[in-house]
Structure 1
Amino acid sequence: MPGAGRLAFDRVDDGATANGAEQAARQLIGHDIDALIGPFGSDAVVGALHLYVAAGIPVFLPAATIDLGALPEGVFRLCPNDRAIAQAILDRIRERGFQTIRVLSDGSPHYLALKSKVERLLATAAVSTDDIVPAQHPMATVFLGRLEASRDWLRGFRQGGEAEPVLFSDDAADPSVTRELTSMGDVEALAVPDSRDLEGARPFAAHHRNLFGEEPGTYFHEVIAAVQLVANLALRRAAQSARSVPPCFDGVPTVFGPARFVGGENERATLVWKNLGAASTGVVFSQEARS
């Protein structure tokens, strides 16, 4: 990776909370960092992004999908945003012909906000939720939540005898969600592409398998793309002997192809639907994410 040798990493755990992220931000800013890859959690972004922006530190968001409206200057999101996720959920519901939907969340601030966004889209599309038609059993359930919460909810849902199809949001796109279930049923999760879908990511995924003996996790490729952009920034700063090089990345090679950002959003961000209920995870629907 060109420029990677110039990078040194300082890692801080923000606990994926707003308060933890604020404390981590003050610590990292005090360390005089040149760029940030993170925060990873959407709730953490709320607590810390303004601090990095005020300090003039370029921020690369690999996994935080929260809808922030217009991203501040110097902030670059690699993953899709919640507007794209909500639209992809609506499109999938339409594709599968579901007329009544139950929408649930894990109760976290981010996923409560996404739940409201999905419900508003469903209302404009004339898709009923079980809150609107309580006597009618829903044709499917949408659960929006973090990985552990999604796994626990699905286990209780299936053990309680509920058999309708389930659509999960992106954090649940992991085989562990259904691993312990003897009868998992129809379960799909919205996800970002893996190395099978991204030719440029395959060498990195192979290296990950050699090091750790397993496939990379969700948002691995977004992290690699962020590192590629930071390495490019380091090279340009070294060439000009300055820290004030503008963070402009159009055309920079990444695992997604040449970078292209519009309003800080990655124009190459992509969403896929993965069937977690099948014997092997596979792409069943793909949609290019657009903000």
Structure 2
Amino acid sequence: MSMTCLVRPLLRSLLLGGLVACAAGAQAQIKIGVVSSSTGPIALVGIPQKNTVPLLPTRAGGQTIEYISLDDASDPTASVSAIKKLINEEKVDALIGPSGSPNAMGVIQFVAEAGVPMFAPVGTAAVVLPMTEQKKWVFKTTQNDDLIAAALVQHMGRTGVKTLGFIGTADPYGDNWHKVLEGLAGKAGIRMVSAERFQRQDTSLTAQSLKTLAARPDAVLIAAPGSSSVLPQTTLHDQGYKGKVYQTHGAALPDFLKLGGKKVEGTILAASAMLVLDQVPDSHPTRKIAASYVAAYEKLHGSKPATFGANVFDAGLLLQAAIPVALKSGKPGTPAFRSALRDAVEQIRELPATQGVYNLSAADHSGFDERGRELITVKNGQWTLLK
């Protein structure tokens, strides 16, 4: 089904009704559980996600929607407890979250067993690839790693990069990025000469940086989400590295610029146009809806959101588009409705959102194409479209 015609009604509902998302209370007929890491090591990812919940749609298909939001404190074990509580006690019809890749990977089994669709706003493509009977219950509202990596590797090839160093988190996010990057770089004739890993909570990366410097790579790619993306790059800078530094879309947040300062000047990453809305043409398919989201978030919270919040916002758009279809097959609170909701999301076509245009299918539960990425650099402390 084509979703282009739904953009105006979706926007109207979000902007007029969004601020009372959590106030539907006992009148709600559809219950959505949200798990975010608004405290703990990945709070810079989870806070904008939690803050976006009041902006989600409160009605769809003539039904009201209630959101039940829980914090897992960045702990994968707490994520499992929160998901089980939402499924078993709150009887939710769908889930949004958790914030972290390890957290999301750890709950897939329970989501699948319960037959509850989950919208994962996480970086790693491992939550949806390779597709399995369990993963068919998971949809991903961020661009898959291969889509982002392809843009970065193409830029490396155009600018003469021949050797590459890798520094990534020792978790599913870093694992998948290393796998994808190694394959794409090899095909492009770029040799990976070093690969270092670290924990998100590490406070020193001197050893990893020194080993990377010893390999003398033309460029280094850092694969880490949120605030954990900053320390590897500032450490390389302090130790005198002069080559190009690439980051993943995990670094696409305002705090990357604040925490990194001048040490992250010149960084190259690929991410959604939301970082550079004022620099893309009016015809860009995501500009209008992303600008509306940013304005609503800024009005409510007094600051601009990171793209991590937009991933939750997009989950709301997908749900609002799919719910009217699912209601034809079952009532909220029933297995029939939840199964129909999952099926309806798979049928979404050409739905513009903040992060790109969604075209989902049984094989593709992320659904992005090149319209979901832009090459961006840090220039004078600001995100700048790389032309």
TM-score range, shorter chain: 0.7 to 0.9
In structure 2, the CA distance between the partners of 1:117 and 1:228, relative to structure 1 (3 Å rule), is: closer
Write out aligned runs for 1:21-170 (5 A). 21-30=79-88, 31-67=90-126, 68-70=129-131, 72-131=135-194, 137-170=216-249
TM-score (norm 1): 0.84
The alpha-carbon deviation at position 33 of structure 1 amounts to 0.6
In structure 2, the CA distance between the partners of 1:142 and 1:64, relative to structure 1 (3 Å rule), is: closer
- Supply the AA of the counterpart residue of 1:70: M
Q: Which whole-Å CA distance do the structure 2 matches of 1:156 and 1:258 have between them?
A: 36
Consecutive unaligned residues of structure 2, counting only runs of 5 or more, are 1-9, 14-56, 196-211, 281-285
Q: Does 1:186 align with 2:186?
A: no
Q: Which whole-Å CA distance do the structure 2 matches of 1:38 and 1:137 have between them?
A: 39
- Supply the AA of the counterpart residue of 1:34: D
The alpha-carbon deviation at position 10 of structure 1 amounts to 1.1
- Supply the AA of the counterpart residue of 2:267: V
The alpha-carbon deviation at position 47 of structure 1 amounts to 0.4
- Supply the AA of the counterpart residue of 1:261: L
- Supply the AA of the counterpart residue of 1:93: M
In structure 2, the CA distance between the partners of 1:233 and 1:121, relative to structure 1 (3 Å rule), is: closer
- Supply the AA of the counterpart residue of 2:161: F
Which structure has more helix as a fraction of its residues?
A: 2
Sequence identity (%): 19
Q: Which whole-Å CA distance do the structure 1 matches of 2:273 and 2:177 have between them?
A: 21
Q: Which sits farther off after the overlay, 10-19 or 51-60? A: 10-19
The alpha-carbon deviation at position 221 of structure 1 amounts to 2.8
Residue-pair matches, total: 285
The alpha-carbon deviation at position 241 of structure 1 amounts to 6.0
The alpha-carbon deviation at position 90 of structure 1 amounts to 1.9
TM-score (norm 2): 0.65
Q: Does 1:284 align with 2:386?
A: yes
The alpha-carbon deviation at position 283 of structure 1 amounts to 2.1
Q: Which whole-Å CA distance do the structure 2 matches of 1:237 and 1:183 have between them?
A: 49
Q: SS in structure 2 opposite 1:142?
A: strand
In structure 2, the CA distance between the partners of 1:8 and 1:105, relative to structure 1 (3 Å rule), is: same
Q: SS in structure 2 opposite 1:274?
A: strand
Q: Is the 8 A contact 1:7 1:234 kept in 2?
A: no
Q: SS in structure 2 opposite 1:27?
A: helix
Write out aligned runs for 1:6-17 (5 A). 6-17=64-75
Q: Which sits farther off after the overlay, 72-81 or 250-259? A: 250-259
